[in-house]
Chain A
Amino acid sequence: MFATPSILRMFAHPAGSAAAGTTSTGKPPVLKVGKKPGSEIKVSNLNVSIGNNHILKNIDLEIPNNKITCIIGPSGCGKSTLLKTINRLIDDSEKVKVNGEIIIDGENIYGKRVEVTHIRRKMGLLSQRPIPLPMSIFDNITFGCKLHGVRNKKQLKQIVEENLRAAGLWDEVKDRLHAPASSLSIGQQQRLCLARGLAIKPQFILGDESTSALDPISSRHIENLFVKLKEKYGVVLVTHTLRQALRIADYVVFIYLGEVVESGPAKELFNAPKHELTKQYLSGVFS
């Protein structure tokens, strides 16, 4: 089991990094990030409806880079839909209509001649439950790179090590890289999925309640990784647990019934919410 070592590591590094990113020789791993300085996600006048259901209404948002932005709100308010809209996974749903703009790198991802795989590549998605693809640990990490044409074996090996280290999983799995990914514990699987997302060199990490299926120790582990990763990526998390947002968010977006009620720096929003609904939500009147 990995639980014990990860506890130890958390105590050993109270700064919260869970030792992610330090190699056995003490050298930090080389993470080449395809990020352009100052790139951010700009959502303007976004409306999403599925069938007759108007799910997101007139969303205007700016999601900064190198920060953790938490999207909070009661269940069914459209948080996950917003996240899926950002990487266009929403395209695969039936009867979906998207209006408005989401601009990443100065490009409207809902523009006419946008290749959707190219957009998705800019974002690593970490879903609610870990979804290891039906293949080995090694192949899971290299899956994305291979799709985009990386074939060199040495390079692939390097990518696997780098990203497993970045997700704090290398030491636990380095001796069984060719074991099926589903043989890992659920917490390890989620870090594997994170490593897999990092391997495609995204600019943003999207987390859709990524810790909700995990035990407290594993979810703490993932949270710490997010904090570490924001140095290099923009992190956007949909979260159901307010306490998680309190712990790690830099920016908070509160959504209620498909509308952004309030958004801003975490400290301001949590300490001095302006809107009545936000106050009620934060004090637990509804959840």
Chain B
Amino acid sequence: MEHTGLLRRRVAANAMASKLMKLLTIISLLTLLIIGVGLYYKSTAILGEHSLWSLLTGKEWSPLSGQFGFRPFIVSSVYVTVLSVAIALPVALLTALFLTENAKPWITKVVFPILDILAGIPSVVYGLWGTLIIVPWIADSFGPLFVDYTSGYTLLAGGIVLSVMIIPLLVSLFIELFSAVPKDFKDASASLGATRWQTSRLVVVRKASPGIIAAVVLAISKAFGETLAVLMVCGNMVGIPHSLFDSAYPLPALIANNYGEMLSLPKYESALMFASLLMFVIILIFNAISRVVLQKVEQKFKL
């Protein structure tokens, strides 16, 4: 058969498109590798001087005297993240269950776009809101119930602001998940005499559990990496927080606060690069672990 010009062009376009797509995929994967390698390369200076262990567990942070202990920052980051998810998860779960299982359809229709707006608000706005509302509230009203004095710029403030930031994300993910549970399952449960709450708790949440885990992983990653809002409300004092009312200094805040300043200090830049590497690795490991957990859950019930 004779190849017409049109056919030839179509075949060529097809070949080009598929090559282009492949190339772009490889590039985006390469970025991950490049970032990892780049961060590692930049951190070698500090890794050559201190052992990895002493960097991770050291409590002292005084760049002037060459002491770089990351423990306060790691602990702060973990605390703030865990706290925010602990606050956000139950709220988001119940909200999503209400909207999918109990609310009248028009309520869901009204609330859904509002959630999208909430999710789209820039983090600096959340940070400001935290500074203007949450921090004074903790300092003047909530904190004094438990401790003698708190500045309000605390772990708790960070946790609350972060949780408010991830709730819209979690709720909209959960709504997708819960509405994907076939009505047949709800009917089966209801026909056995389950109340709506029992069905939600025992069947809907269970059926959606792999998705819930995936959503929480996403939320944790977001909370862990969120910079501006926590920087504005956590207080940023170096030290391991011992209570909700202590100031905290998460890793992203450390980097954002200091990069570009005092870089003439020896090893200071390298130390900040190491902080980035640390976050990078923690997120990678965390994602890997959650994949395994997800698979186990899926296998267990063949969901």
A positions within 8 Å CB-CB of B: 87, 89, 92, 94, 117-118, 120-121, 123-125, 127, 129, 131, 133-136, 143-144, 147-148, 180, 182-183, 193, 196-197, 200
In the complex, what residue of chain B is closest to A143 when comparing beta carbons? B192
Beyond A134-B303, A182-B301, is A193–B188 a contact (Cβ under 8 Å)?
yes
Contact of A125 among B191, B194, B198 (CB under 8 A): B191
Residues in A whose Cβ lies below 8 Å from that of B105:
94
**Number of A-B residue pairs with CB-CB distance less than 8 Å in the complex they form:** 75
A183 x B193 contact (CB < 8 A): no
Beyond A131-B184, A131-B185, A193-B188, is A147–B301 a contact (Cβ under 8 Å)?
no
A-B CB proximity, top 10 nearest: A144-B192, A121-B193, A125-B191, A131-B188, A182-B302, A117-B193, A180-B302, A134-B207, A131-B184, A134-B301
Residues in B whose Cβ lies below 8 Å from that of A134:
185, 203, 206-207, 301, 303
Interface residues of B in 277-303 (CB under 8 A from A): 300-303
A123 x B191 contact (CB < 8 A): yes
Complex Cα spacing A143 to B190, Å = 11
Tell me how far the C-beta of A32 lies from the nearest C-beta in chain B, rounded to whole angstroms: 17
In the complex, what residue of chain B is closest to A119 when comparing beta carbons? B193
Complex Cα spacing A195 to B189, Å = 14
Q: What 12 additional pairs, Cβ within 8 angstroms, besides A117-B194, A121-B192?
A: A89-B190, A92-B187, A120-B190, A120-B192, A124-B191, A127-B188, A134-B185, A134-B203, A143-B194, A144-B194, A147-B194, A180-B300
B86: Cβ under 8 A from any A Cβ: no
Q: Determine the interface band of chain B, counting residues with CB < 8 A from chain A.
A: 20 to 34
Residues in B whose Cβ lies below 8 Å from that of A135:
206, 301
Complex Cα spacing A136 to B185, Å = 15
A129 x B184 contact (CB < 8 A): yes
Contact of A180 among B186, B192, B194, B301 (CB under 8 A): B301
Listed A/B pairs (18) with beta-carbon separation below 8 Å:
A89-B190, A92-B186, A118-B193, A120-B192, A125-B191, A129-B184, A131-B182, A133-B189, A134-B203, A135-B206, A143-B189, A143-B192, A144-B192, A147-B192, A180-B301, A182-B303, A193-B188, A197-B192
Beyond A135-B206, A182-B301, A183-B302, is A125–B193 a contact (Cβ under 8 Å)?
no
SS class of chain A's interface: helix, strand, loop or mixed?
mixed
B positions within 8 Å CB-CB of A: 105, 182-195, 198, 202-203, 206-207, 300-303
Tell me how far the C-beta of A152 lies from the nearest C-beta in chain B, rounded to whole angstroms: 18
Beyond A180-B300, A180-B301, A180-B302, is A133–B190 a contact (Cβ under 8 Å)?
no
Tell me how far the C-beta of B45 lies from the nearest C-beta in chain A, rounded to whole angstroms: 52
In the complex, what residue of chain A is closest to B193 when comparing beta carbons? A121
In the complex, what residue of chain A is closest to B189 when comparing beta carbons? A133
Complex Cα spacing A196 to B303, Å = 19
Residues in A whose Cβ lies below 8 Å from that of B190:
89, 92, 117, 120
A196 x B301 contact (CB < 8 A): no
Residues in B whose Cβ lies below 8 Å from that of A133:
185, 188-189, 202-203, 206
